[in-house]
Structure 1
Amino acid sequence: MTVIPVSLGARSYDVIVENGLLARAGDHLAPLSRGRTMVIVTDENVRPHLATLQASLAAAVVQSEAIVLPPGESSKSWAMLETLTDRLLDLGVERGDHVVALGGGVIGDLVGFACAILKRGCGFVQVPTTLLAQVDSSVGGKTAINSKAGKNLVGAFHQPALVLVDPTTLDTLPARQVRAGYAEVVKYGLIDDPAFFAWCESNAAALIAGDADARSCAISHSIAAKARIVGEDEFETKGRRALLNLGHTFGHALEAEAGFSDTLLHGEGVAAGMALAYGFSAAQGIAPPADAERVRTHLAAIGLPNGLAAVRSTQSGHELVAHMMHDKKMNAGTLPFLLARGIGETYVDKTVDLAKVTAFLDAQPR
């Protein structure tokens, strides 16, 4: 078992990582139940894990009730938020209760936001079952739904009370989902940890193929990196937490082009976005071209998209930049970009000329 603290004063909590943890989750959740029925929210794809979790709660003498939602990014919507909050109210959830979010990033984001606004805020626990959720979205308290204008534009900061990570839940994931989640793993190396990027280059294939040691190492390292950054800048006001958005400005524009559908998974968009961020940095003379090519080569080697051609983008640079203008990081009409001086040297640039971004995107192979 690895226990990683997220240090946020009164909002601090632990992330527990352990193989087989789901079958023992009831021991960790029972103290939060207050002797009441715990509500679990999940989706249709996670039903096998739901049975394991409910059995674990029953063994800990905790009753549970499940809400099962449709899978996919389309569930991060106003309509599903209304459906979920109405159902939680029907079940009598109180402010002192803790709702359990069992699933991937969609479930975690949706449930976290519902709990942030339900009765002006109730507790919740993250039990992530995808690699992307385990290493990124379940930690840090960002919750949101999508809107017509863009991804994650309606949401709130609402920290979980606990995060339970069982790497063995990844054994049931399709390989595409594991690869997409891996994009958020390698991101930590590209942000500020070149040694971890080198580790990724050597171990990514084993991780994706199911090697338990590689997965546990990557998950624990990634969570610790995110916990450190979140602890320094919880509400993304100091610039430090913004580094976690590497690849997301480009990636969210590509996701918007795909209609926020399974045509392009979030991790796939982030992967292409990181390659574009490094490519743009190299094109502007900021990063060595060899480093940008190293990123592209690694992503392609493990089956992740590394540019516009790989995601079959058809929109012009102007159209993609128009999507970016809805980015939630916009500040006084300026859009900060995450650029890089080299591998592990990401920084925030608030002076990027969008005309140069447009020209760069138009020049990319389609």
Structure 2
Amino acid sequence: MQKTLNVALSKRSYPIIIGENLLNEFHHFKLQAGQRVLIATNETIAPLYLQPLIDMLEKNGVKTDSIIVPDGEKYKTMETWNTILTALLANNHTRNSILIALGGGVVGDVAGFAASAYQRGIKFIQVPTTLLSQVDSSVGGKTAINHPLGKNMIGAFYQPQSVVIDLNCLKTLPQREFSAGLAEVIKYGIILDEDFFNWLEIHIEELLNLDVKALSYCIYRCCQLKAQIVAADETEQDMRAILNLGHTYGHAIEAELGYGNWLHGEAISVGILMAAQTAKLLNKLTDNDIDRIKNLLIKAKLPVIRPKHMSIESYLPHMMRDKKVLSGQLRLVIPTKIGHAEIIDGIEKEIVFESIQRV
């Protein structure tokens, strides 16, 4: 059931390989005997997958070092980024070394950013181990760290040389983390593919039960949709911004409550509903579509009610630091029907507050 697709970016094109037991198969990593790698992973993933990956690589003649960083969104920081750079320096890695990011979105983002900066850029490989990272953050070359004043505000567009998605890693993923990943999955259906959204309504239980056939199709379709957008707009000058549906609202929740208190996907779930309410207030989305979106999020075991201890007024300062803001004007991605979204400029703060209030 192995599948491969390509992110078409001319000389920076790379494959995404999806299947089972891929961590045991050397040829997927596009490495050669004698090369040196640093594997960056976290405290949760290391006991599960680090040593088997090291053993497989070294058996094939690859020299490996590793660095284990703390687990969680609150560690997506300058300090963690510096820890990875220090490991590269301390082990005398060169411009020919390759950094492997083994973990979820935090590890992938921080390690990718470290790869972009080390000796002005070394190659790196994404090995995502969470659903969220497999369908979203490992694909497209967005690398970043958080700042207390804003999420993902410090980083670089830097593409991996390959993405290796082993479905078996999802077997050790906690239910809450898996559901968080489904928020990004559902997002793709809302903004780009009505047929995929319809498929999710039918097959969501199979995904929650880790049915391999359903997972393989789901992850492939999400990566395919994202690859198409990235190939058309790599550095988010235009249409790639629609991939941020719910993120402007959701990032405000993450930043205000403290990174990690709400998982990224949980905040995005609520953010998607806030964006849907914005669309409703602008007469661009029907109540029926909002109900379908909300019901699917509920089936995915995601929150659909905002954190009530967070004031409505506290959203706006975070939202105004969003990367989509232009000339002081708030820009939001809103769904206009299932399968289509638009970027709207200059939305009044009264509409934003009412959208938040409704969720």
> TM-score by structure 1 length?
0.94
CA contact (8 A) 1:248 1:274 kept: yes
What does 1:129-278 correspond to in 2, within 5 Å?
Answer: 129-237=129-237, 239-261=238-260, 263-278=261-276
Q: Which amino acid aligns with 1:2?
A: K
**In structure 2, what is the equivalent of residue 14 of structure 1?**
15
Instruction: Trace 1:265-304 onto structure 2 (pairs within 5 A).
Output: 265-304=263-302
Structure 2 stretches lacking a partner, 5+ long: none
Q: Is the contact made by 1:27 and 1:57 (CA closer than 8 Å) also made in structure 2?
A: no
Q: CA deviation at 1:75?
A: 1.7
**Does structure 1 residue 28 correspond to structure 2 residue 28?**
yes
Distance in 2 separating the partners of 1:152 and 1:33: 33
Q: Distance in 2 between matches of 1:220 and 1:190?
A: 17
Counterparts of 1:18 and 1:129, CA distance in 2: 12
Aligned-pair CA distance for 1:320: 0.8
- Counterpart for residue 340 of structure 2: 345
* Identical columns (%): 39
Q: What's the Cα RMSD here? A: 1.3
Q: Deviations over 1:305-356 (max 9, x none)?
A: 1231xxx332232211121111122221122101121111211111311222
Within 1, Cα distance between the matches of 2:253 and 2:308?
Answer: 7
Q: Corresponding residue for 1:319?
A: 314
| Structure 1 alignment gaps of length 5 or more | none
| Separation in 2, partners of 1:146, 1:86 | 19
- Aligned counterpart for 2:350 among listed residues 322, 331, 355: 355
| 1:196 alignment partner AA | F
- Structure 2 counterpart of 1:5: 6
In the alignment, residue 7 of structure 1 is paired with which amino acid? A
Q: Which moved more, 1:187-196 or 1:53-62?
A: 53-62
User: For residue 75 of structure 1, what is the aligned residue in structure 2?
Assistant: 75
Deviation of 1:243 (Å): 0.9
Task: Give the distance between the partners of 2:198 and 2:225, measured in 1 at CA.
Answer: 16
Contact 1:131 1:170 in 2 (8 A): yes
SS at match of 1:170: helix
Give SS of 2:155's match.
Answer: strand
1: CA distance, partners of 2:243 / 2:34: 38
Q: Which residue identity lines up with residue 290 of structure 2 in the other structure?
A: A
Aligned counterparts of 1:122 and 1:33: Cα–Cα separation in 2: 16
Distance 2:133 2:3 in 1: 17
Tell me the matched-pair count: 357
Indicate the SS of the match to 2:355: helix
Distance 1:330 1:351 in 2: 9
> In the alignment, what sits opposite 2:39?
40
Q: 1:61: how far off?
A: 2.0
Question: How far did 1:206 drift?
Answer: 1.2
User: After alignment, is 280-289 or 113-122 more displaced?
Assistant: 280-289
1: CA distance, partners of 2:350 / 2:273: 19
Q: 2:33·2:62 contact (CA, 8 Å) conserved in 1?
A: no
Indicate if the aligned counterparts of 2:275 and 2:355 stay in contact, CA closer than 8 A.
no
SS in 2 for 1:99: strand
Residue of structure 2 in register with 1:52 after alignment:
52
The question of whether the paired residues in 2 share the 8 Å contact of 1:42 and 1:103 is answered with yes
Q: Are the equivalent residues in 1 in contact too, given 2:192–2:340 (CA < 8 A)?
A: yes
Amino acid at match of 2:277: G
1:207 and 1:141 mapped to 2: Cα distance?
26
Contact conserved, 1:109 with 1:143, CA < 8 A, in 2? yes
Q: 1:28 to 1:192 in 2, by over 3 A?
A: closer
Quick one: which amino acid aligns to residue 65 of structure 2? E
User: Shift in Å at residue 33 of structure 1?
Assistant: 4.7
| Paired position in structure 2 for 1:103 | 103
Deviation, structure 1 residue 12: 0.7
Contact 1:276 1:307 in 2 (8 A): no
Aligned to 2:337, the other structure's residue is in SS state coil
CA contact (8 A) 1:32 1:97 kept: no
CA distance in 2, matches of 1:38, 1:323: 38
**Residue type of the alignment partner of 1:271:** S
Q: TM-score, normalised by structure 2?
A: 0.96
Measured in 2, the distance between the counterparts of 1:270 and 1:58 equals: 39
Moved over 6 A (4+): none
Note if contact 1:36-1:62 (Cα within 8 Å) is conserved in structure 2: yes
2-side partners of 1:15 and 1:36: how far apart?
21
Residues 40, 101 of structure 1: 8 Å contact kept: yes
Q: Structure 1, residues 20-58: CA drift from partner, whole Å, max 9, x if none?
A: 11111x2233x4356133110000111211122112212
Give the secondary structure class of the aligned counterpart of 1:341.
Answer: strand
Give the partner amino acid of 1:35: G
Instruction: Name the CA distance, whole Å, in 1 between partners of 2:31 and 2:24.
Output: 17
